[in-house]
């Protein structure tokens, strides 16, 4: 057995169902099923976190972005992932993963078109494929149901509720109030991170589960996701809006940043300096809001009567920037919901 493989007799260690278990030195394996942009970002964030801590033992994030639960030392998971498997379908994707995680390849195995093998070797599965791949049967491969049994599956599929995931694997009308592990199934958890995971600055939303996750499960999920940024918990019905705000948000903010830099360049600033200045200004403003400053009050503090800021804001308001941005978030939320239902062409004419 190679150094990148995990013995299969350790796959169903019952740490995930909250029951008493025998402490061993067996490593926990996290498999990313469909390791694309977000999957790579999450793996990179976790691996960098573990590397900076000097071990695979849990510890609070140095950035201070963990949730209160994750910061409680007595609530940290007794085991965290230390081996990782990235499942892809194309050579180009495998090369991309290898390049992005080049400094951590001793802990990462890349599997091409071997999803079942990756799941069989996992303790925790991160479902990172596109929603359409779910419809194409990525979880209905022969043997997949058995491989998933008793495992925690963290889904980052946009617009895809737990009910759809359950039905895809086990058929309709299988979702009950019973503990899925007790019913011989896997346990799905729906989350929504964003691409800032790569620099451990993600805003990740975890959907509340029914029945609730056990303390062990909840702590492990929160720990994994708090390695890559901030974490909040919301009811499932809010996840499409959260997807639009947090998942699509970086693209929206990038457009605003680019637009501000364009305006500065038009007035004579060099492109590189304008982009850096716009980015730092956006970052500083965001930090002030995160520290408790209300954005409306912050705007008023900068807006001197009769000054240049007031003039610029008036142009933005006349151009309906506020309404356009809000409508963009609403439209992305609806599109996320439709994508989760397997629809195509969700961004057609309205």
Strand pairing category for 187-192 and 202-207: antiparallel
Whether the Cβ atoms of residue 257 and residue 173 lie closer than 8 Å to each other: no
pLDDT tens per residue, range 173-193: 655 556 777 678 899 999 999
Q: Is the pTM of this model over 0.75?
A: yes
The neighbour count for residue 200, using CB atoms within 10 Å, is 22
Of the chain, the percentage scoring pLDDT greater than 90 comes to 55
The angle at the Cα of 281, spanning 280 to 284, to the nearest 5 degrees, equals 80
Instruction: Specify the pLDDT at position 250.
Output: 94
Over 80: is that where the pLDDT of 5 sits? no
Instruction: Specify the pLDDT at position 22.
Output: 41
Residue 59: pLDDT band (50, 70, 90) is very low
Side-by-side strand order, sheet with 202-207: 108-112, 81-88, 28-33, 124-127, 152-155, 187-192, 202-207, 229-234
Whether the Cβ atoms of residue 340 and residue 160 lie closer than 8 Å to each other: yes
Over 80: is that where the pLDDT of 32 sits? yes
The neighbour count for residue 163, using CB atoms within 10 Å, is 14
Residue 16: pLDDT band (50, 70, 90) is very low
Instruction: Specify the pLDDT at position 168.
Output: 87
Residue of 23 and 109 predicted with greater confidence: 109
pLDDT tens per residue, range 301-348: 999 999 999 999 999 999 999 999 999 999 999 998 887 777 878 887
Residue 208: pLDDT band (50, 70, 90) is very high
Strand partners, 206: 191, 233
| Residue showing tokens 């509720």 | 161
């Amino acid at each position: 057995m190679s150094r990148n493989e995990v013995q299969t007799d350790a796959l169903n260690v019952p740490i995930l169902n909250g029951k008493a278990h025998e402490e061993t030195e067996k490593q926990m394996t996290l498999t990313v099923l469909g390791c694309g942009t977000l999957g790579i970002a999450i793996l990179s964030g976790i691996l960098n976190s573990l590397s900076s801590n000097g071990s695979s033992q849990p510890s609070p994030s140095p950035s201070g972005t963990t949730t209160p639960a994750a910061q409680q030392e007595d609530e940290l998971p007794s085991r965290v992932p230390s081996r990782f498997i990235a499942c892809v379908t194309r050579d180009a994707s495998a090369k991309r993963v290898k390049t992005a995680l080049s400094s951590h390849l001793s802990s990462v195995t890349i599997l091409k078109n071997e999803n079942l093998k990756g799941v069989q070797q996992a303790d925790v599965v991160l479902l990172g494929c596109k929603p359409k791949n779910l419809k194409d049967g990525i979880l209905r491969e022969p043997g997949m149901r058995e491989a998933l049994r008793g495992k925690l599956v963290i889904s980052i599929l946009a617009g895809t509720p737990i009910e759809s995931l359950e039905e895809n694997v086990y058929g309709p009308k299988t979702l009950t109030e019973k503990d899925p592990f007790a019913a011989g199934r896997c346990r799905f958890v729906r989350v929504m991170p964003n691409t800032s995971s790569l620099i451990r600055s993600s805003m990740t939303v975890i959907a509340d589960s029914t029945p609730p996750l056990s303390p062990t499960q909840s702590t492990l999920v929160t720990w994994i996701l708090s390695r890559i940024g901030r974490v909040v918990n919301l009811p499932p019905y809010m996840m499409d809006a959260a997807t639009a705000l947090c998942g699509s948000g970086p693209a929206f903010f990038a457009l605003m940043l680019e637009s501000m830099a364009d305006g500065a360049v038009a007035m004579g600033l060099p492109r590189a300096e304008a982009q850096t200045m716009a980015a730092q200004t956006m970052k500083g403003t965001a930090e002030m809001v995160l520290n408790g400053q209300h954005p409306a009050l912050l705007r008023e503090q900068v807006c001197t009567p009769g000054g240049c800021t007031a003039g610029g804001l008036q142009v933005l308001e006349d151009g309906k920037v506020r309404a356009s941005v809000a409508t963009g978030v609403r439209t992305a939320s609806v599109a996320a919901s439709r994508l989760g239902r397997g629809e195509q062409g969700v961004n057609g004419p309205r």
